[in-house]
Amino acid sequence: MNSYKPYVPETLSELMDQVVPMMGDAPNFKDDTGYFPRKSIDSEFYALIEGFGKVRDKIGEDRYARALDIAARMKAIFLEAEDENDPKTMQGIYLIHELMDLIDEVRAQRVASKLKDDEDRVTGD
């Protein structure tokens, strides 16, 4: 398809599905499936940042600002990295871990507070 538009995660669990695989795509974020020939570092970070925007009310302003800051630093590091063996790639992956921790933290809090998801269940979403 020529008009590739990344899917923007809508929930915290969908956001985790976006964040974790970014470790395997770093640092170039090129498509290796054939389905997304226009996939790029820009499209993947667009989905990431817009995804955090979708859950902004759930994670709060402080965490939202921290997520955007981490994402900006991640992208800058990956743009400097040559390939997956470049030590900078692992530096960026450590920042992905920080995003995973942030999402896990919010989900755990939502479960502890018995906050319900859009299907009226306590799942962390």
The residues of the shown chain that bind other proteins, judged by CB under 8 A, are 1-7, 9, 13-14, 16-18, 20-21, 23-24, 32-37, 84, 90, 93, 97, 119, 121
**Closer CB to other proteins, 61 or 85, in the complex:** 85
DSSP string computed for the chain: --S--PPPP-SHHHHHHHHHHHHHHTTT---SSSS-TT--HHHHHHHHHHHHHHTHHHH-HHHHHHHHHHHHHHHHHHHH--STTSHHHHHHHHHHHHHHHHHHHHHHHHHHTT---TTS--S--
**Closer CB to other proteins, 6 or 59, in the complex:** 6
CB of 6 to other proteins, least distance (A): 6
CB of 97 to other proteins, least distance (A): 6
CB of 61 to other proteins, least distance (A): 26
**Closer CB to other proteins, 32 or 61, in the complex:** 32
**Closer CB to other proteins, 52 or 62, in the complex:** 52
Nearest of 34, 37, 44 to residue 7 by alpha carbon: 44
